Amino acid sequence: MSQPRDHWSSRAGFVLAAAGSAIGLGNLWKFPYIAWENDGGAFVLVYLVCIALVGLPIMLGEILLGRRSQKSAVGAIKEAAGKNWGFVGGLGVFTGFVILGYYAVIAGWGLRNFVMCLGWTLNGFPAQADLAGEFGLFLADWKAQFVTTVLFMAATVFVVLRGIGKGIESVSRRLMPLLMGILLLVLASALSMEGAGEALQFVFAPNFGELDINGVLEALGHSFFTLSLGMGAMITYGSYMGRDESIIRSSLVVVVLDTLIALVAAVAMFSVIFSVAGLQDQLGRSSVGMLFITLPSLFYNHVPLGSLLAPLFYILVSFAALTSTISILEVVAAYFIDERGMTRPRAVALTGGGTLILSVLCSLSLGAWGPISNFEIFPGKAGLLSTLDHLASNWLLPVGGLLTTIIVGWVLSAAITKGELVDDNTPTWFRYDLWRLVMRYVVPVAVGAIIIAVILGRDFS
């Protein structure tokens, strides 16, 4: 006999866990640096449009697929659209494996910075510190990378092993409020600095001259990444949801929180950067390292109360990453539990072990091992880690999201989707017909057009 399906133990369970999944390195590490690379304003605006017009509607679609079938990605899609579409779920599981492989490595850097900051706060920050140099040495040091990556994966496995209510939900319930509290402290301190005005201007004043089609794809891809869409994570989390909750209200809370936190992180970081003379130009091409390399010394040398905030901030980064990695591992593990009849411990051991191998490879691709550190498939993205990130966020997620949209908008009947979205809990402002129109036409056309424009515009020479 199979066990009854595990569920969120409270109404807030889904929202907390889904917000935990959405809010992660995508908000704290990636959004600030890609917004910086794409010169702020216009990129941010396109990103916000993608969130509202593409991300939110797809999130409703994914959750309804999961809640309706009470099955994770592959099973939910097969049930909705038939066996032939099962590959879309399979693609999602594969994408999850890819993302977790490199995500765990970067999450490990958060742990490393936390430990470093604890030391600096207790013993004083060295006057002559060469943080960029030290971080470079850390990246190329396979033992250090191995330790932080394995630690992080172990924490992820530990939570997912405990299941939905006792594992994922209870961790999210504790960590999410803490995370918001710490972030608000950091924001308050950053806004008191003189660069705050310029930072707000940079983030919110659009200048379209600076944005090209690759930037648009990046904004689109990031809107999938940051909301954990396009690979079945929200299908899976939705499958642990009961019928007494409004999909619409829950999604809206998750999307608004995720977007706010990305904007807060960017404004806080840029406020500090604009406050320090000469730093802007110096950041130039190394903006990827903004969170891990540039920020620590700024905390100690410039930010009010920085030596207190620095360790708190990096533990926040690690927590935010943890509530995301558990959601990715859950997608992969749930496939083996639901579709292959494995017990949870077996499935988690198998998938956790498999991703650990990939993540150790990624951790060696930062200089420690030449052959996987230097190859370049996507221009400017050398090495396995950057290649997988680019592949997953800019290609696998948009394609997965597009296919999911087609299933929800075209394969499922209006009666079915309406039955899931519209009930007594549905907020009065929700317009079902508008949502369906967006899913059938706006999302496929927009996502398809961007993908095609980038392919056609590519320089194959």
Q: How far apart are CA 215 and CA 394, in angstroms?
A: 10
Q: How far is the CB of 322 from ligand TRP (least distance, A)?
A: 11
* CA distances, 243 to each of 26, 69, 255, 419, 423 (Å): 30, 11, 20, 11, 10
Q: Identify the helix (H) or strand (E) that includes residue 381.
A: strand 381-382
* Closer residue to ligand TRP in complex, CB, 75/92: 92
Q: How far apart are CA 345 and CA 157, in angstroms?
A: 10
* Closer residue to ligand TRP in complex, CB, 47/125: 47
Q: How far is the CB of 68 from ligand TRP (least distance, A)?
A: 20
* Closer residue to ligand TRP in complex, CB, 102/138: 102
Cβ–Cβ under 8 Å, residues 224 and 398: yes
* Closer residue to ligand TRP in complex, CB, 45/99: 99
Q: How far apart are CA 222 and CA 211, in angstroms?
A: 15
Q: How far apart are CA 135 and CA 145, in angstroms?
A: 11
Cβ–Cβ under 8 Å, residues 53 and 375: no
Q: How far apart are CA 266 and CA 258, in angstroms?
A: 13
Q: How far apart are CA 262 and CA 30, in angstroms?
A: 9
* Closer residue to ligand TRP in complex, CB, 80/261: 261
Binding residues (CB under 6 A) for ligand TRP: these are 21-22, 24-27, 99, 225-226, 228, 231, 233, 324, 327-328, 397
The whole-angstrom distance between residue 438's C-alpha and the CA centroid of its chain comes to 24
Q: How far is the CB of 163 from ligand TRP (least distance, A)?
A: 18
Q: How far is the CB of 442 from ligand TRP (least distance, A)?
A: 21
Q: How far is the CB of 187 from ligand TRP (least distance, A)?
A: 18
**414 is written with which tokens?**
């209006």
* Closer residue to ligand TRP in complex, CB, 190/397: 397
Q: How far is the CB of 418 from ligand TRP (least distance, A)?
A: 27
* Closer residue to ligand TRP in complex, CB, 193/451: 451
**Around Cβ 280, how many Cβ atoms within 10 Å?**
15
Phi, psi at 445, each rounded to 5°: -65, -45
* CA distances, 37 to each of 102, 219, 292 (Å): 21, 12, 16
**Residue whose CB is nearest to ligand TRP in the complex, by number:** 26
Q: How far apart are CA 343 and CA 129, in angstroms?
A: 50
Cβ–Cβ under 8 Å, residues 354 and 347: no
* Closer residue to ligand TRP in complex, CB, 55/215: 55
* Closer residue to ligand TRP in complex, CB, 228/417: 228
Q: Shortest CA distance to 166 belongs to which of 309, 21, 6, 305?
A: 6
Q: How far is the CB of 397 from ligand TRP (least distance, A)?
A: 6
Q: How far is the CB of 382 from ligand TRP (least distance, A)?
A: 22
Q: How far apart are CA 68 and CA 52, in angstroms?
A: 24
Q: How far apart are CA 380 and CA 23, in angstroms?
A: 26
Q: How far is the CB of 101 from ligand TRP (least distance, A)?
A: 12
* Closer residue to ligand TRP in complex, CB, 107/446: 107
Q: How far is the CB of 276 from ligand TRP (least distance, A)?
A: 27
Locus of tokens 């620095």 = 310
